[in-house]
A and B are shown apart, each in its own frame.
Chain A
Amino acid sequence: MHRRGVGAGAIAKKKLAEAKYKERGTVLAEDQIAQMSKQLETFKTHLEEFASKHKQEIRKNSQFRVQFQEMCATIGVDPLASGKGFWSEMLGVGDFYYELGVQIIEVCLALKHRNGGLITLDELHHRVLKGRGKFAQDVSQDDLVRAIKKLKAMGNGFGMIPVGGSYLVQSVPAELNMDHTVVLQLAEKKGYVTVNEIRDSLKWERERASHVLDHLLKEGLAWLDSQAAGEPQYWLPALFSELLSRDVTPEEANQMTP
Chain B
Amino acid sequence: MDRFVWANGLLEMNETLVIQVTICPLFPGHVLFLDLKKSPKIAKIVIHLHPAPENKEPGPYQHSKYSFIKLSFKEHGQIEFYRRLTEEMTQKRWENTPVLQPIPTGIGPKAGRTRAVGIVGIERKLEEKRKETDKNISEAFEDLSKLMEKAKEMVEVSKSIANKIKDKQGDITEDETIRFKSYLLSMGIANPVTRETHGSGTQYHIQLAKQLGDMLQAPLEERGGMMALTEVYCLVNRARGMELLSPEDLVNACKMFESLKLPLRLRVFDSGVMVVQLQSHSEEEMIASALDNVSDKGSLTAEEFAKLLGLSVLLAKERLLLAEKMGHLCRDDSVEGLRFYPNLF
Do chains A and B stick together as partners? yes
List chain A positions with a Cβ less than 8 A from chain B.
Answer: 21-22, 25-30, 32-33, 35-37, 39-40, 42-44, 46-47, 50, 53-54, 57, 61, 64, 67-68, 71-72, 74-89, 94-95, 98-99, 101-102, 105-106, 134-135, 138, 150-157, 172-173, 214, 217-218, 224, 247-248, 250, 253-254, 256-258
Q: Are A29 and B248 in contact (CB under 8 A)?
A: no
The answer to whether A98 and B158 touch across the interface, beta carbons within 8 angstroms, is no
The residue in A32, A99, A135, A152 that gathers the most chain B C-beta atoms within 10 A of its C-beta is A32
A85 and B233 CA atoms in complex are apart in Å by 18
State whether A81 touches B229 (Cβ < 8 A).
Answer: no
- Whether B230 pairs with A29 at a CB distance below 8 angstroms is no
Chain B interface main SS type:
helix
Q: Name the distance in Å between B266's Cβ and chain A's nearest Cβ.
A: 10
- Contact in complex: B247, A25 (CB < 8 Å): no
Given the interface pairs A28-B170, A30-B172, the reply to whether A37 lies near B137 with Cβ below 8 Å is: no
Chain A contacts of B190 at CB under 8 A? 76, 78, 81
- Determine whether B335 belongs to the interface, using a CB cutoff of 8 Å to chain A: yes
Check if B186 sits within 8 Å of A85, measured CB to CB: yes
Q: How far is the CA of A134 from the CA of B95 in the complex (A)?
A: 7
The answer on a CB contact under 8 Å between A102 and B246 is no
Distance, CA A254 to CA B68, complexed state (A): 12
- Jot down 20 A-B pairs with beta carbons below 8 A, ordered by A: A26-B169, A28-B170, A33-B172, A35-B157, A53-B140, A57-B136, A72-B188, A82-B248, A83-B244, A84-B204, A98-B244, A101-B237, A134-B98, A150-B248, A154-B250, A156-B274, A157-B273, A247-B89, A250-B34, A253-B46
Q: Which of the residues A27, A80, A134 comes within 8 Å of B246, measured between beta carbons?
A: A80
A97 nearest in chain B by CB position: B246
User: How far apart are B250's CB and chain A's nearest CB, in angstroms?
Assistant: 7
Does the CB pair A247–B33 fall under 8 Å?
Answer: yes
B3 within 8 A of A: no
Chain B residue with the shortest CB-CB distance to A68: B144
Report yes or no: A172 in contact with B314, Cβ–Cβ below 8 A: yes
* Nearest CB of A to B198, in Å: 16
B325 interfacial by beta-carbon distance below 8 Å:
no
Q: Are A155 and B274 in contact (CB under 8 A)?
A: yes
Of A77, A135, A214, A257, most B-chain CB atoms within 10 Å: A77
B 120-148 contacts with A by CB, 8 A: 136-137, 139-141, 143-145, 147-148
Q: How far is the CA of A248 from the CA of B179 in the complex (A)?
A: 59
Chain B nearest CB: distance from A182 CB in Å? 21
User: In the bound complex, do residue B185 and residue A85 qualify as a contact, i.e. CB atoms below 8 Å apart?
Assistant: yes
Residues of A within 8 A of B140 (CB): 53-54, 57, 64
- Chain B residues with Cβ below 8 Å from A84 are 185-186, 204, 249
For A43, give its contact among B151, B169, B170 (CB under 8 Å). B151
The one of A50, A53, A67, A156 that contacts B273, using a Cβ cutoff of 8 Å: A156
Residues of B within 8 A of A (CB): 33-36, 46, 48, 66, 68, 89-90, 95-98, 136-137, 139-141, 143-145, 147-148, 150-155, 157-158, 160-161, 164-165, 167, 169-172, 176, 179-180, 183, 185-190, 204, 228-230, 233-234, 237-238, 242-251, 268, 271-274, 314, 333, 335, 337-338
Contacts of A224 in B (CB 8 A): 335
Determine how close the nearest CB of chain A comes to the CB of B246; give it in whole angstroms.
Answer: 5
Q: Give the distance in Å from the alpha carbon of A86 to the alpha carbon of B245 in the complex.
A: 13
Interchain Cβ contacts within 8 Å, total number:
226
Residue contact B246 to A83, C-beta cutoff 8 Å = yes
Interchain CB contact (< 8 A) of A57 among B137, B228, B238: B137
Assuming the A-B contacts A64-B140, A157-B273, are A250 and B237 also in contact, with contact meaning beta carbons closer than 8 angstroms in the complex? Answer: no
Give the contacting residue for B158; candidates A36, A47, A99, A254; CB below 8 A: A36
- On whether the beta carbons of A105 and B245 are closer than 8 Å, the reply is no
CB atoms of A253 and B48 under 8 A apart: yes
Distance in angstroms between the alpha carbons of A89 and B186 in the assembled complex: 9
Pick the residue among B35, B152, B244, B248 that contacts A250 (CB under 8 A). Answer: B35
Give every chain A residue within 8 A of B314 (Cβ-Cβ).
156, 172
- A-B residue pairs, 7 tightest by C-beta: A25-B169, A26-B170, A155-B274, A29-B170, A98-B244, A25-B170, A253-B35
In addition to A86-B187, A257-B68, 19 A-B residue pairs with Cβ atoms within 8 Å of each other are: A26-B169, A26-B171, A29-B169, A33-B176, A33-B183, A37-B183, A53-B139, A74-B148, A77-B155, A77-B187, A81-B246, A83-B245, A95-B242, A98-B237, A135-B98, A153-B247, A154-B250, A173-B273, A258-B66
Contact flag A154-B46 (CB < 8 Å), given A37-B183, A77-B189 = no
For B144, list chain A residues within 8 Å (CB).
50, 54, 64, 67-68, 71
A32–B244 contact, CB under 8 A?
Answer: no
- Return chain A residues, CB-CB under 8 Å to B46: 253, 257
